[in-house]
Chains A and B, each alone.
Chain A
Amino acid sequence: MENQYDVIVIGAGVVGNAIARELSKTCVSIAVIEKELDVSMGTSSRNSGVIHSGIHYKPGTLRATLNVLGNSLMADLCQDLKVKIDYIGKLTVAQDEEEVKSLYMLKDQGETNGVPGLAILDPDAMGKIQPNVGGIKALHSPSTGIICPYSFTIALAENAHANGCRFYLGHEVTSIQKKDGRFEIEAGGKKLTSRILINSAGLYSAEICRMLGINEYTIYPCRGEYLILDKRLKGALNLLVYPAPHVGKAGLGIHLTNTVSGNILIGPSNEYRQDPEDYACTADIMARLRKEGHILLPELKTTDFIRSFSGLRPKQTPPEIGGFKDFVIESREDVKGFINLVGIESPGLTSSPAIALMIRDMVEKLLPLTPKTDFNGRRSGMAGHFHELSDEEKADLVAQNPDYGEVVCRCEQITKKEVLDAIENPLGVRTINSIKYRSRAMMGRCQGGFCLPRIVQILEKEFGYRPEDYLLKNRTSPLFFGKMRQDIK
């Protein structure tokens, strides 16, 4: 029946999509409901994109277990999904003997958690991995990696979709009732029902709980701001370099993070906010990040800052307490069939494949799961971008499709074919940001100054767009206000 599902997942972030994909391996019917027009619009796309090793979490916690398992599942998953992942490793650097002690503590903790390959290095060995690192000792964790978080989240959704999962994008959940053993969900003017309801609404997870009379959770949004640096500096860092943790310090500290696309990020800051969508960047923090950037990266020039962004993590601890609480992942006894995920902040991205397995087990206890024989876990296409291919591969592709020969975004060298693929994405999302996140066009140093007018033209000529059809990210963010004057026929 239409709008009736075995399982409904609320929230199309990395966790919701990983769960949907995992369940799409079975014969249950699944839908994902998302209030935004695209997947990966919240915490999942607004972070450092680091695949953590798992040294930072207390043994026995969900964060420790799921992080280490998630990390080990990532390589194969990314290969199947055609998502670029790079296990570049991380150095946690100590400046004094006190910090060296914390390195040994982290190493022990990591080894208890099952993190592979940990080693304490002296300055000689550190310099061989990354020249010019200060400090007297460092903990090397080779299993730390980097990934493009929105590419990964989108890939999970597209693969779930290809395997029968239905996506209701732009549908905000307004009420949930439990009637006759089924959940009745009102979202975006539609009534949907399911036997099992999974709450992976991230920053809104406590709000979803309250719709079902579960009042024990509160989410405290905590904002991190970042600056994105020009690709000119690619290669300045071979791996991630973090300061050793200090007792009494809240986050992991402002640091540099490589991205798979070759930009370096500076950030994040750490600041509690009231509004779960307060994605502003602030003058004070931007100035602080710029200053830190110049210290951490002496060759940095003022012209190297190409953009800033911020993300919010769903913390369960209020500002006066700070620190971290473990993930809440539970199959509720009081509301049978309600599987609840609360406070999935860092390391949520790394843990997502492991969380999906855990949820699958929880679902299986409520509903028999038979494997789907025609499940296809592989996405077609290429991991990465056309411009990263060899000259021979490129020449072959252009011969097959001339749109590969036309470069639309000159800064990132994104071709017209890649832009067209992004426009015609399987989920049918068509905002400017959805094209940007999928193709990387408009993400370079000119920030779309050159290619946005060209992409607007492609949408008009090949997809019949009128000026009022262009949206940046949602229905209330129009790019334009109609035509200047009527066209002369």
Chain B
Amino acid sequence: MQTIKRDLVIIGGGPAGLAAAVSARKSGLDDILLIERDRILGGILNQCIHDGFGLHTFKEALTGPEYAQRFINEFQSLGIEAMLETIVLSLDKDRALTVSSKKGFLKIQAGAVILAMGCRERTAGAISLPGTRPSGVYTAGAAQNFVNLQNIMIGKHIVILGSGDIGLIMARRMTLEGAKVEAVFELLPTPSGLARNVQQCLNDYNIPLFLSTSVFELHGKDRLTGVTVATVDERFQMIPETRRFVPCDTLLLSVGLIPENELSLNAGVRLEPATSGASVDDQFMTSSPGIFSCGNVLHVHDLVDHVSEEAALVGRSVVDFLSGRTLSTLPARIPMVTGKDVRYVLPQNISGKEDVTLSLRVTRPMRNASVLVTDRGRKVARKKLIRLHPAEMIRIKVKAKDIETAEKLEVSVQ
């Protein structure tokens, strides 16, 4: 089998991989290879034909493919090498990859690797949905592929379980295509998707959203004929007297995204239970030296703009790593821990030698509160927010001069 060498191999040609490649090239790195399993670059953005992308990055509302195209154009004008229709079969901790394509098998030895594989959707099996196994049950993202890329009508009477952003977007999309979206049911007492999507995709189309309500049984031996729904108590237990049957021919699931880290595990990358993504330092390097992670494979984002920004930083970090410049900051000695009302914070370890932007999510919706970063009780940074919601990632800057002597940083909401 043929073996080639590259300074940097990026796995995944979606928004994270593209932005990381462009940034690494602009930081002076020549020898870059991006590997993408699809026929075209752009990743999941290709099927996101609604608008609202790029408000932060480009100050305008673009569709998914338009947003991707801006990065693809830049990627191509910089002459960066991409292998399309190529899948990475394995990656080890020494950054040796095996890839497969119609041209055959190839081994690649990389100086550094950026993991940018994105995420996959949770399925009916993953949430152990009881009942029959009929046709007409799709994850929202797969349904979006059929509808937007293949022009296929997936159903006429639709129920959506889960109020994740893709589910909300699909509620509007199916309504515009003439289907009747009966309702969206959400197990949690608050929507999982962005507030703007609840307004623009449900409220504007009079699609009801039932919170603290879930689907408890699928009906229909062949095609789906309906679902049993019921309200849940505060411990998420079904309240039996609220059970009711909702007729429908299609159920879309928008019940969560899981970072696609199977390759990372084989490369010895340590994962964080809270994010299902890698544990990283402030250079976004994982526990396996020379292997970096960014985008939805690291933690699920709600805005692609943040993915691009994070990936750009990783592109620069990799160049620093390859040139040996980051060595002085290693190891990242300050652990980050979550305090009151914080579900996760990233990066998980920082060096304290550079300014760093923390990304975090809260555990519940709150109003007029502050995110506080402290070192053994001493305030290091604070950000006041009017609205805090689990669906919306919060970012907060911490300055190097404030944490030089820090031992452990805690992030909490006060």
Contacts and interface: CB of A to CB of B under 8 A. Distances in A.
Interface residues of B, number: 51
Contacts of B156: 481
Interface stretch (B96-104, B197-205, B282-290): B96-104
Interface stretch (B72-80, B120-128, B327-335, B339-347): B120-128
B120 A446 contact: yes
A405 interface: yes
A83 B102 CA distance: 27
B100 A398 contact: yes
Contacts of B125: 228, 305-308, 447
B151 A483 contact: yes
B131 interface: yes
Most chain B Cβ neighbours within 10 Å, of A277, A445, A471: A445
A452 interface: yes
Interface in A441-471: 445-450, 452-453, 456-457, 460, 467, 471
A410 interface: yes
B153 A484 contact: yes
B233 interface: no
B258 interface: yes
Nearest to B130: A283
A478 B250 CA distance: 11
A449 B121 contact: yes
Given A281-B130, A394-B105, A481-B155, A306 B123 contact: yes
B146 interface: yes
Q: Kindly state the interface size class of chain A when it binds its partner.
A: 35 or more
A402 B102 contact: yes
A391 B153 contact: no
Contacts of B105: 391, 394-395, 398, 405
Contacts, number: 145
Contacts of A449: 120-121, 123, 139, 141-142
Contacts of B258: 303
Given A447-B123, A453-B145, A281 B152 contact: no
B131 A474 contact: no
Contacts of B66: none
B132 interface: yes
Contact of B222 (A305, A473, A483): A473
Contacts of A450: 120, 142
A279 B98 CA distance: 41
A105 interface: no
Contacts of B153: 467, 480-484
B23 to A, nearest CB: 27
A290 interface: yes
A210 to B, nearest CB: 23
Interface in B120-164: 120-121, 123-126, 128, 130-136, 139, 141-142, 145-147, 149-156
A425 interface: no
Nearest to B148: A484
A290 B120 contact: no
B238 to A, nearest CB: 8
A281 B139 contact: no
Nearest to B146: A453
Contacts of A410: 37, 87
A162 interface: no
Contact of B130 (A286, A405, A407, A484): A286
B136 to A, nearest CB: 8
Contacts of B146: 453, 456, 480
B13 to A, nearest CB: 15
Nearest to B120: A446
Given A303-B258, A467-B153, A277 B142 contact: no
Contacts of A406: 85, 100-102
Nearest to B249: A481
B268 to A, nearest CB: 15
Contacts of A395: 1, 104-105
Given A283-B217, A446-B123, A449-B139, A407 B134 contact: no
Contacts of A452: 142
B245 to A, nearest CB: 15
B89 interface: yes
B150 A460 contact: yes
Contacts of B101: 405-406
A472 interface: yes
B123 A405 contact: no
B321 interface: no
B408 interface: no
Interface in A192-243: 227-228, 232
Nearest to A471: B135
A279 B219 CA distance: 11
B130 A282 contact: yes
B93 interface: no
A388 B152 CA distance: 35
A411 B139 CA distance: 16
Given A413-B89, A481-B154, A481-B155, A453 B142 contact: yes
A86 interface: no
B152 A279 contact: no
Contacts of B123: 306-307, 446-447, 449
A483 B178 CA distance: 12
Contacts of B120: 445-446, 449-450
A456 B130 contact: no
Contacts of B104: 395, 398-399, 405
A305 B128 contact: yes
Contacts of A333: none
B128 A290 contact: yes
B50 interface: no
Contacts of A305: 125-126, 128
A367 interface: no
Contacts of A303: 126, 258, 276
Contact of A407 (B87, B124, B135, B154): B87
A113 to B, nearest CB: 37
B221 interface: yes
B128 A308 contact: yes
Nearest to B107: A391
Interface core residue of A228, A281, A478 (most chain B CB under 10 Å)? A281
B223 interface: yes
Nearest to A452: B142
A476 B222 contact: yes
A392 B152 CA distance: 40
B234 interface: no
B87 A279 contact: no
Nearest to B123: A447
Contacts of A306: 123, 125-126
A387 B100 CA distance: 11
A309 interface: yes
B241 interface: no
B100 A407 contact: yes
A446 B121 contact: yes
Contacts of A392: 1
B216 A477 contact: no
B131 A280 contact: yes
B135 A479 contact: yes
A485 interface: yes
Nearest to A286: B128
Please list the 8 inter-chain residue pairs (A to B) with the smallest Cβ-Cβ separation, ordered nearest first.
Answer: A307-B125, A472-B135, A402-B102, A477-B222, A476-B222, A453-B145, A447-B123, A477-B135
Given A305-B125, A447-B125, 8 more contacts: A308-B128, A395-B104, A398-B104, A445-B126, A450-B120, A456-B152, A480-B153, A481-B154
Interface of A: 227-228, 232, 277, 279-283, 286, 290, 303, 305-309, 387, 391-392, 394-395, 398-399, 402-403, 405-407, 410-411, 413, 432, 445-450, 452-453, 456-457, 460, 467, 471-474, 476-485, 487
18 contacts: A232-B265, A279-B132, A305-B125, A308-B128, A308-B130, A392-B1, A394-B100, A403-B102, A407-B87, A407-B100, A411-B262, A456-B146, A456-B150, A477-B135, A478-B135, A480-B154, A484-B147, A484-B152
